[in-house]
Each structure stands twice: as C-alpha cells, then as structure tokens.
Amino acid sequence: MQTAGAPVATPRPGRAAVGPCPTPPRPWHSVAAAALAAHWGVDPKHGLTDAGARAQRAIHGPNRLAEARPPSLGARLLGQLRDITVVALLFAALIAAITTWLGAEDTERGWARYSDTLAILTIVVLNALIGLLQEKRAERALAALRGFTSPRAQVRREGALRSVEATELVPGDVLVLGEGDRVPADARLLEGHDLEVREAALTGEALPVAKGPRPALDPATPLAERSNMLWLGTEVVQGRGSALVVATGMDTELGRIAGMLRTITSEPTPLQTYLARFGRWVVWACVAIAAVVFAVGLAAGRQTFAELLLTAVSLAVAAIPEGLPAITTIVLALGTLRMARRQALVRHLPAVEGLGAAQVICTDKTGTLTQNVMTVCRVAAAGRTYQVSAATHEGASAFHLLTEGDGGTPIAPREEPALWQLVEHAAHVREVTLVRSGGETVARSGNPTEVALARLALQAGMPALGPRTVLHDLTFTSTRKLATLVVAHGDRPRALVRGAPEVILARAQHTLGTDGGSTPLTAAERARLLAQTTAWGGEAMRVVALATREHAPAELAGWEDDLTVVGLVGMVDPPRPEAREAIACARQAGIVTVMITGDLPATARSVARQLDLTAPQSVDQEGVLLSGAELDALDDQALAARLDRLRIVARATPAHKLRVLEALQASGKVCAMTGDGINDAPAVKAAAIGVAMGRAGTEVTKAAADLVLADDNFATIVAAVEEGRAIFSNIKKFIFFLLSSNTGIVLTVFAAGLLGWAPPLSPTQILWINLITNGLPALALGLEPTEPGLMALPPRNPRAPVLDRNAYWQMLAIGALMAGVALLTFALLSGHPRTLHAPAHRLAQTGCFATLSLTALFHAFNCRSTTASNFQLGWLSNRALWGATLFSLALLALAIYVPALHPVFHTRALPWRDLGALTAISSAPLVLVELIKRAAWSKGHRRLTTAKR
C-alpha cells in the first residue's frame, strides 16, 4: 500500500505522463520544506507556472474525490429479486397462472380466476420495495465527505496571487491561507504566523492545533501531531500562512478515507445470516415435499396434472414465510423508536438486532466516558493542598484541606488567605459565558481552561469577575507557554500570569505564605512544586500554575518576569457519573469494554481506574494497556494473543482503532465501535455496530454509522444493547410463531396431497393466513414487554441459530396438532375430500381456512414466553396482542361473510353454528400448551420447595 502523503509516481490510467516525478523516500512531514519545493521544481515566492500546473494535472488529475456511479433503480430491483425465496414465489406464480389457464379451477370467472397469481406477485413486489428502502448508506458517507472540500483556493501562480477552483489545484501549488479558510488539499507549511487549525473533523480533537513551518518531523509522528502539515477539509481558525500542496484528490488523507469507505463492506448481522440460510433450506425442502406429493399423485392417478400443479403451488406458498421480512423490518423500526427515547438514534435497521449480540464495545474516552469538561479537582497554595469536589450549591463543602493520613478537612476558602488569592486570580477570566442553571450561576462556554477557573471561583463563593479594566492581554502561545492579563489594580497595573508550571517557576522569585504575604521562592520550594506537578500529571491532571506581578513595569517584556507564584491548579476531564455503573452493567452482561484514546498511558490508566474499567484485572496488570507504538510493534498473531487481556489502547490513532477492531472481529467477536472524526469513519463502518457521536461527531462519521448517540454518552450504548437484546428476544418469539403456523399449513397441504384429496386451501387463502392472520399477531409479539434479567445473561453466540433444535421439535408438534384439526374440519365439511369440484369443496376450504386462522391466533398467546404461562405473564399485559387478534378476527369474518370477497378468497359463508364449533376445537393448541407450562412450573416449584427444606 502506498504511504499516505507520498506522491504518485505512476500516471493514472488514461492520463499521459509529463516528465519524471521521482518519489521522496519518506512521508511529507519528515521532509524539509525546501527539499519538497525542489522536488516539485517550484519557487515558493512565485509558485508554479501555468505550464507546470497543466503538466502536474495531466499526471494527478483534478483535485476531487472519486465518485462511483450508483447502481440504477432497475439494477437494485433485480438485486432484490435474486433471493432464492423470491425466485420460488415467482415460479409458484407462474405455475398458478398456468394451472388457471389449463382450467384446474373453473368455478370463477374474469380476473378473479387469476387472484392467486396476482396475490403472489403483489407480495413479491412489496418485499422488493421494502428491501430497496433499506439499501445503501455508503453513498451518504461519501457525499458527506465531498462536503468537506473547498470550492475555491488562493494560490501563487506565475508570481501572482490568483483565486482558482479548488479542483484545479495540483501538487506543487503554493497555497495562501487566512483565518476562516478551509484547507483545499494536503499541504506542507512554508510559513505561518500565529496559525491555528481546527482538525476536529479529521482527528476528533476538539481544540484547535498550533501549526507552523517546523523542521522535518520523525516519520512515525502520528497524524494529529504533524504540526507542519495542513490537511484537506480542516479549517484555519487563527493566523495566516502559506503552504506547498503535496497531495490532491484521492491521494490526500481525506481521499484515503474515502477509498476505505468505498471498499469496506458491512457484514450481515446474525439474524440476516440466519434468515438467508433458512430461506434456502425452506425452498429446497419445499421442492422435495412437492416432488413427493407430485410423484404419489401421479402414481395413484386420482388427480389430474393441473390439480397436482395447484397442490405444488399451494405447498410453495405455504412453506415460504412471506410476511417474515416485512414483519422483521417493522418490528426493528418500532424498536428504533424505543431506542430514540433513550437517546440512541438508529440509522441502519439491522443494527437494532446486532446490538443484542454485542460482545465488545470499543469506546472513545473524551466526551463518551468523560464529561468533556475540564474541571478543577485539586489546588495547591502556600504549601497546602486542597481537594475540590462538586458542590451541591455555591461554596457548599467543595474544598477540603488534605493532610497525610486523612480524607480531608472541610474548609471555607475565605478563611485561607493564600487560597483566597488563588481563587481571586482564577476569577479573572477571558470571554467565559456565565448562565443561570437551577438557581446557580454556571460557566458554560469559552476556553476550557478559563471555564474551569471560572467554575472554581464560583464554587469558592466568588463570582467570576471577568476582565475588568484590561490594559494588555497576551494570549497563550505554544512557544511562550504563558498567558498574561494585565489589569488595573487600584492606581497601579497588575499582571495575572497563567501557564506551564516549569515555565512560571523558572521566571518566579517569590511565592505566597500562609498569611497571603509574599516570601522568597527557595530552590527547595521550587523543586517541591515541580515534583508536585509531576505527581499530579501522573494522576491524569492538567496542571496550570498561577502567578502575579504587582506594579508591573511599563515595558511589555517585563510583565512575565520576577513573578510571585500564587499556586498550582490541577484539572481533569472527570468521568461521567453514570459511566462506571454502565461499564459494570456491561460487564455483568458479559460485554468487554475497551477504551481507545489518544491520551498518554498515565491519563488513560487514571480514567480507567476511576471507572473500574479493567475489573477483575488490575489497571497495572501486564497486557491490559497497549500504546500505539507498542501496537505497531506487534504482528497480527502477537496482537491476537493479547486481545483477551486488552482493555486500554493509549496514544491511539484512527488507524490503531481500525486494526484493533479488525483483530477482535477476526477472532469472532461482535464489536461496537465509537467514533467522531472523519478518520474514525472507516473503523465505524467496518464494525458490526458502528456508533457515532451526535454532538461531537462529523456528518461523515454519522453517515457511516449504524447508531448515533444523541448525548455522546457511553451509558446510552449499554442502554441500546439492552434494548437490542429485548428486541431480539421478541423477534425469536414471532419467528417461532410464524414458522410453527407455517408448519401447520404445510402439513395440512402435504397430508392432503398424499391422501389424494383436493387442495384444502387455495394459494390466496394461504397468503392471507401468512400475511394478515399471522402477520398482525406477529407484530404484536414484537412489542412484548421486556423480560427481566436480560442483562444478567451472557451475549448470545452470533454463530448459533436463532431457534434451537428443541424449538423445531416444538414447531413440528404444534404444526401437527394444527394440521390434524384442519384436516378433520375439511373432511367433515367436504363429504368428498378427493373431489376438487364437489359442491361442498368451497365450503370445506372455507372451514379449513377458518380453522388454521383461528388456531394460529390462539397459538400466538403460547409464543409470548417459552416457559411462563399467560397466567404468570398476565393475560392483559400485552394489549397490542389482543388488539391484533380482534382485528384479525374481524378481517377473517369479512373474507368469509362478504359475498363480494368470495371470488377473491375462494370462500363461502359458514353457518354460525359451525364457526362456533370451529373456534372451540381451534383453541386446542393454546389449552394444551398452557397445561404443559403449568405442569412444568408446578414441578419446578415443588423441587425448589423441597430444596429449601
């Protein structure tokens, strides 16, 4: 694979090469800018010539992301019709048409003769349309990627500044960029002045990154740390600069991601795999059964060829659960509404079921496990250390003086002179928005460090002052590592300095005493403060030193010298309060949580320790944590051997995310992967369940994801897993219901064929039972209340069938009972069951149709639970099932008693006395199963009582 950032030496197919284009041996960030300019033959002051730009364009093509032509509607429709069950139904429709034409049934006239054929074709078309609505999300992800490209760019060409279409840019062009510009290609910085670029869309890092024409970096430098590079799709938020274009179009980092999105295909979920395998099995079983019936019928000579064809069509329609795809889709769609109420927005329906099988959750740290809000947790002033906790209201026991051997003594900040000066210093903040929330003043927006300091002042009982009379404001730079605010203090200026402790301590000569007065800063005290900074850093804190300079001199440079140290402030991004409980809940459910973060190992360990992420292993146990560099040093086999213990990946890039995900999925795990930046999109799309952040995530990542978290909260993923398990449990219930009812229909038609009887059901009647009579209760079973204890069970094996062998035996037993009742009804009402055109045949078919419909409706109540009786569940606890049952009964009555529908459904009006008798005998499956469940419960209850004794 070509190294990201290296130019393309070989012309693309269809373009002529213009001159040699040797490739530098190292990535762009590791090559001196002057060497790159020489490589492209360009003078940075003048830019490319028009001829040189044309030559490069002939080699590299336009600066745009490749767009694959989407398949036509016709091609997509044909793709839906390739399914083997659809092919079988189309073949059945053809046979039904031929049978009607041959006159197997001549009791109807006009279009009603072809009602069976039309009914089958209608089902095929509806299923195809549902499939089309679920297709294709990759195009949306690629379309969102194209939205990150810039329409125009400022370049130097022929010594002049020009505005050109961004698609016309080529390697070697010199870009000129300013605040607000979107970077139109990957480029190596030539010059920069206070340049900051927001790369959140690409790397996921929320804060702008300082950029400059720095010397060549190490080739292994992660993308997020390549401070001498600009990337296509990022945005300049401050400063200005110029840069040499080194990659365009599909050769850029954004283009590489677009290419990965096009090649990564989503794996089918376990349910999709099962349904596809089951569909193939049903078709071949149907062919075998039809062949047996056909052979027996021909040998006996009791039926005509056309009558045997009609029986074969009936078997095909009976065996294939036509309503299953549509009902599954609807139940999954209803499941998305339940998930949305828990802040989980589903973009890809099969993910609803896939969530229930999740075995590993690979999650970001910032904003997902943590609050993404810098918060002061510890301060040090005048040799004392204070723990700062969240206060229930302003000043309420937020500060505790820490002494060796205790958990801290509550103190009032106003009673500690040095601490109060530190709080007053913190209260002078820049551009922090203060809002009222729940009766309190809360700092909400602004620079994260400033917001944290403002909140500290609020907790101490001092309102954030904001900059009063500001005389000078020197903002923080990565070179100085200081920020200074000079304010009026009485009649003299006062400098308030904040920055890196090592820088401030090197410039300081004094510190505060316990009385708040200034004392000389000794070498021992300076060493102690540096050691304290290091110790806090080991606890994942960001440490900021505060200092002042009273009566600052008029010279600008002198304000940051001869400082008085006020104290140290330790900040963290605290874990979400609900994250620890959610991780424990996932662990109880057999789900492993792996934190993948760009933070240092010490920070990652500290957060993991607070969240109890690695239990029952220790955070410090060997193999629990891997850094990005350690990951790079492992081959695939060595990484696979570490997966069982791996819980933390630190200093990780999006490429590391993808590699860990691929290793986990190669080991057979069903993985959920979170992401927010564009670079995360390939890993999110490749995961069995891709999860994007709703607030911090880019549109590209959301388009590639299955699930979007509206609140960016890890606990929402666990809640979605619970919903997924509940939905899959209900899917199993209605699949069992549909297949057992289908078994009853198949056995009815099969037995009648072997006995040489006339078909007991018409294809249209079978379709009605499959889709309407059974379909509505199946939907209601999909809404069955969640059974308790789902999250105490381990994840299901994704390779295990949806229904086990015991379920199939139960289906066969129930189906045989239903078929026996139906055949008895048909024989009694027909009088001559072997004669297709007997006067009573339509009445007998109607009776059989009603019996199988009623037994299915009664059987739906059996399927609410495999073990619990309806008396235990509560007969009225699923009101939707009662509604579906009553509505199906009403539709059945219309099909039987409305004369205008008789030609369509091949029915005749049944005497009400007969219908009452049929209803009574059709309740046999429900009564029998209830008795069995009751007996099993009583037996188990007696065993439990005996054991307690």
Q: Is the pLDDT of residue 8 over 60?
A: no
Q: Cα(859)–Cα(867) distance, rounded to whole angstroms? A: 14
The single residue of 116, 181, 186, 364 carrying the catalytic annotation is 364
Q: Are residues 638 and 689 in the same domain?
A: yes
Does any domain span residue 804?
A: no
Does any domain span residue 321?
A: yes
Q: Are residues 875 and 846 in the same domain?
A: yes
Of the three residues 712, 744, 763, the one that is the final residue of a domain is: 712
Q: Are residues 449 and 391 in the same domain?
A: yes
* pTM score, whole prediction: 0.73
Bridge partners of 370, per DSSP, are 575
Q: Are residues 164 and 207 in the same domain?
A: yes
Query: Rounded to whole angstroms, what are the CA distances from 147 to 144, 523, 682, 696?
Result: 5, 56, 17, 17
Strand ranges for 713-761 from DSSP E = none
Q: Cα(474)–Cα(549) distance, rounded to whole angstroms? A: 14
Of the three residues 258, 278, 304, the one that is the final residue of a domain is: 258
Q: Cα(702)–Cα(683) distance, rounded to whole angstroms? A: 12
Does any domain span residue 48?
A: yes
Q: ∠ CA(767), CA(769), CA(771), 5° rounding?
A: 65
Place 304 in a pLDDT band, splitting at 50, 70 and 90. Answer: low
Q: Compute the average pLDDT of residues 451-478.
A: 76
Q: Cα(794)–Cα(804) distance, rounded to whole angstroms? A: 17
Provide the CATH number for the domain around residue 184.
2.70.150.10
| 31-76 pLDDT, tens digit each | 889 889 988 889 999 999 999 999 999 999 999 877 656 666 666 6
Does any domain span residue 800?
A: no
Percent of the chain with pLDDT over 70: 78
Of the three residues 258, 285, 315, the one that is the final residue of a domain is: 258
Q: What is the pLDDT of residue 944?
A: 40
In which element (H, E) is residue 845 found?
Answer: helix 841-862
Does any domain span residue 423?
A: yes
Higher pLDDT pick, 631 / 298: 631
Given a contact cutoff of 8 angstroms between Cβ atoms, the answer to whether 649 and 363 are in contact is no
Q: Is the pLDDT of residue 235 over 90?
A: no
Highest mean pLDDT of the ranges 102-116, 419-433, 772-786: 772-786
Provide the CATH number for the domain around residue 326.
1.20.1110.10
Q: What is the pLDDT of residue 518?
A: 92
Q: Are residues 398 and 438 in the same domain?
A: yes
| 151-172 pLDDT, tens digit each | 789 999 998 999 998 999 999 9
In the annotation, is 676 catalytic? no
Longest pairwise C-alpha distance within the chain: 119
Q: Cα(945)–Cα(929) distance, rounded to whole angstroms? A: 24
344-348, 489-493, 534-538, 835-839: the lowest-pLDDT one: 835-839
Place 505 in a pLDDT band, splitting at 50, 70 and 90. Answer: very high
| 276-292 pLDDT, tens digit each | 777 778 778 777 877 77
Q: Are residues 469 and 503 in the same domain?
A: yes
Q: Are residues 838 and 876 in the same domain?
A: yes
Query: Rounded to whole angstroms, what are the CA distances from 138 to 264, 661, 948?
Result: 9, 19, 59
Rg (CA), the chain: 36
Report CA dihedral (28, 30, 33, 34) to the nearest 10 degrees: -120
How are strands ordered across the β-sheet holding 344-346?
344-346, 707-709, 689-693, 671-675, 360-363, 592-596, 648-650, 625-627
At 706, list the tokens.
Answer: 């299955």
The whole domain housing 227 covers 28-60+147-258
Place 175 in a pLDDT band, splitting at 50, 70 and 90. Answer: very high
Q: Is the pLDDT of residue 81 over 70?
A: no
Residues whose CB is less than 8 angstroms from the CB of residue 155 and which lie 6 or more positions away in sequence, other chains included: 47, 161, 162, 164, 169, 173, 174, 175, 176
Q: Is the pLDDT of residue 24 over 60?
A: no
Domain count, the chain: 4
Residues whose CB is less than 8 angstroms from the CB of residue 228 and which lie 6 or more positions away in sequence, other chains included: 29, 33, 188, 189, 211, 212, 213, 214, 215, 216, 217
Q: Are residues 741 and 759 in the same domain?
A: yes
Provide the CATH number for the domain around residue 551.
3.40.1110.10
Q: What are phi and psi of 497, to 5 degrees?
A: -115, 135
Q: What are phi and psi of 454, to 5 degrees?
A: -65, -40
Q: What is the pLDDT of residue 130?
A: 58
Residue tagged 């109060």 (tokens) = 420
Spatial CA neighbour of 567 closest among 462, 425, 427, 395: 425
| Average pLDDT in the chain | 81
Spatial CA neighbour of 673 closest among 10, 686, 228: 686
Q: Are residues 366 and 379 in the same domain?
A: no
Higher pLDDT pick, 20 / 472: 472
At 840, list the tokens.
Answer: 């009573």
Q: Cα(30)–Cα(225) distance, rounded to whole angstroms? A: 12
Buried b (16+ CB within 10 A) or exposed e, 888-898: beeebeebbee
Q: Compute the average pLDDT of residues 791-815.
A: 87
Q: Is the pLDDT of residue 13 over 70?
A: no
Residue tagged 């890890």 (tokens) = 714
Q: Is the pLDDT of residue 583 over 80?
A: yes
Does any domain span residue 348?
A: yes
Q: What is the pLDDT of residue 476?
A: 73
Q: Cα(50)–Cα(707) distance, rounded to whole angstroms? A: 48
Q: Compute the average pLDDT of residues 702-713.
A: 85
Higher pLDDT pick, 494 / 351: 494
Does any domain span residue 427?
A: yes
Q: Is the pLDDT of residue 77 over 60?
A: yes
Q: Are residues 767 and 686 in the same domain?
A: no
Place 390 in a pLDDT band, splitting at 50, 70 and 90. Answer: low
Given a contact cutoff of 8 angstroms between Cβ atoms, the answer to whether 162 and 203 are in contact is no
Q: What is the pLDDT of residue 50?
A: 92
Place 948 in a pLDDT band, splitting at 50, 70 and 90. Answer: very low
Q: Are residues 225 and 293 in the same domain?
A: no
Q: Compute the average pLDDT of residues 895-924.
A: 89
Does any domain span residue 6?
A: no
Given a contact cutoff of 8 angstroms between Cβ atoms, the answer to whether 863 and 737 are in contact is yes
Q: What is the pLDDT of residue 884?
A: 94
Q: What is the pLDDT of residue 679?
A: 74
Query: Rounded to whole angstroms, what are the CA distances from 145 to 148, 270, 562, 819?
Result: 6, 30, 51, 57
Q: Are residues 395 and 448 in the same domain?
A: yes
Q: What is the pLDDT of residue 698?
A: 73
Q: What is the pLDDT of residue 78?
A: 66
| 345-389 pLDDT, tens digit each | 887 777 777 888 899 999 988 878 888 788 899 999 999 999 998
Q: Compute the average pLDDT of residues 692-712.
A: 82
